[in-house]
Amino acid sequence: MEDTTWEDTPIAAAARRAAQVMTPNSLTLPKPQEPRLITIANQKGGVGKTTSTVNLAASLAIHGLKVLVVDLDPQGNASTALGVEHRSGTLSSYELLIGECTAEEAMQPSTAHENLFCIPATLDLAGAEIELVSLVRREYRLADALGREFIDKHDFDYMIIDCPPSLGLLTINAMTAVNEVLIPIQCEYYALEGVGQLLNNITMLRQHLNRQLHISAILLTMYDARTNLAEQVATEVNDHFGDVVLKNKIPRSVKVSEAPGYGQTVIEYDPGSRGAMAYLDAAKELATRGDFLPSEESGPIGLKPAK
């Protein structure tokens, strides 16, 4: 039996990854040919939507890509994790939607990384659904405010939108402002509950409001390899959605759960943890495989990588 040196242990591997993350310019990913505009959505709460938003964004930023996160959830948890001001009265996605400020005015640099920026959400956003009803182009307020001119001016490679777990006008605005939808699905009971309705809603939005909208990735979260249930859910999701499912799964992790309490992403909080490494790998996979474009038969679900 061969001796295992310290350098071959999981702890050593984690230490090496952590050192890479903390060393500027040590990780790089290719820039997309066009800015990728992504909404992370699931109508079911507690699936890791906000956690995935901030950690994928931080992972992409660490790999040298410039990323904008737009927080459309009134709870403002993404804003907290990215270390940006979001007290009531702060210029935010609320003012952006109702036309009281520009994206330029609402955007703040994140403390998580120099390549990462955020348009925060405040509690004022909770009443936006009602106010938007009477506004002109109510479904396109965010798309109009975050025009291509703004994205190109700041040279963003990715824009990622975190929206609430419901299909109201906030989520519809998120869907009309992007091309891609990433759906996080937790590896637990009732994992696919609500996903069918979400697919129907995306199909309707695609038909009536945004022809470019499609599901480009599904991310399995809260995966526990020790349980048969997690493996069964993963198998079911892969059988149902095929290649659109990311191969990298996000494990159930104490560190991922603890990080928001410190106002940080898990990438900052513990870059050598299993959760941080899983998000780094998932972001790398998302970036290197490109967008998954839908076929005529697949509807809104992407089945083949963009060329």
Q: Is the pLDDT of residue 307 over 80?
A: no
Domain assignment of residue 211, given as a range: 27-305
Rounded CA gap, 297 and 200, in Å? 15
Q: Is residue 98 part of a domain?
A: yes
Q: Is the pLDDT of residue 5 over 60?
A: no
23 pLDDT band, cuts 50/70/90, is: low
167 pLDDT band, cuts 50/70/90, is: confident
Question: Could you report how far apart the first and last alpha carbons of the chain are, in Å?
Answer: 47
The pLDDT mean for the chain works out to 88
Q: Is residue 21 part of a domain?
A: no
CB–CB of 53/69 below 8 Å? Answer: yes
Note the pTM of the prediction, 2 decimals.
0.90
Rounded CA gap, 296 and 102, in Å? 37
Q: Is residue 276 part of a domain?
A: yes
Q: Which residues of 69-89 are buried (b: 16+ CB within 10 A; e: fewer)?
A: bbbbbbbbbbbbbbbbebeee
CATH number where 220 lies: 3.40.50.300
Q: How many domains does the chain have?
A: 1
Q: Is residue 224 part of a domain?
A: yes
Q: Is residue 72 part of a domain?
A: yes
Q: Is residue 229 part of a domain?
A: yes
Q: Quick one: which of 216, 212, 223, 214 has its CA closest to 248?
A: 223
pLDDT digits (tens, 9 = 90+) for 192-250: 777 888 899 999 999 999 999 999 999 999 998 888 988 998 999 999 888 999 999 99
DSSP string, 51-64: HHHHHHHHHHHHTT
Q: Is the pLDDT of residue 7 over 80?
A: no
Q: Is residue 3 part of a domain?
A: no
Higher-pLDDT residue of 188, 112: 112
Q: Is residue 15 part of a domain?
A: no
